[in-house]
Amino acid sequence: MRFWTKIFRENHLLRDTTFEDTGTDSRTLKVFRALEESCRALDLPVPIWLKNNVKDFQRVAKTRFRQDSFIESIDFDYLEFQVIEEDKDAGFL
């Protein structure tokens, strides 16, 4: 699976990173790991998955984490996290 994580402020892309997980873990574990590794690469705290994030991600394999998902204050509007390439046999989060 491949993931794309982007940071936006005022609808402008500030920074982004991609992460690929070719392991045999479940889709859910890959998603959580990808978010953690992407945040590490971008030097950001890992956001908390709220109900709306889970619903969005289950529906379209993409979600936006805003200030309410972070414990610390953030200097951007939102962090967008999405799947850009799915495993052939993946289940759903």
Q: What is the pLDDT along the chain (93 residues), one digit of tens a residue?
A: 999 999 999 999 999 999 999 988 999 999 999 999 999 999 999 999 999 999 999 999 999 999 999 999 999 999 999 999 987 765 555
Residue 40 belongs to a domain: yes
Q: For position 9, what pLDDT does the model report? A: 97
Residue 90 lies in a domain: no
Give me the pLDDT at residue 40, please: 97
How is the beta sheet containing 62-65 ordered, strand by strand?
Answer: 12-20, 2-9, 78-85, 62-65
Q: Give the model's pLDDT for residue 86.
A: 87
Which DSSP state fits 2? E
pTM > 0.75: yes
82 phi/psi in degrees, rounded to 5: -150, 155
Angle at 9 between CA 64 and CA 38, to 5 degrees: 50
* Residue at 75 is within a domain: yes
How many domains is the chain built from?
1
User: What residues make up the domain containing 79?
Assistant: 2-85
Is 93 part of any domain?
Answer: no
Helix, strand or coil, per DSSP, at residue 53: helix
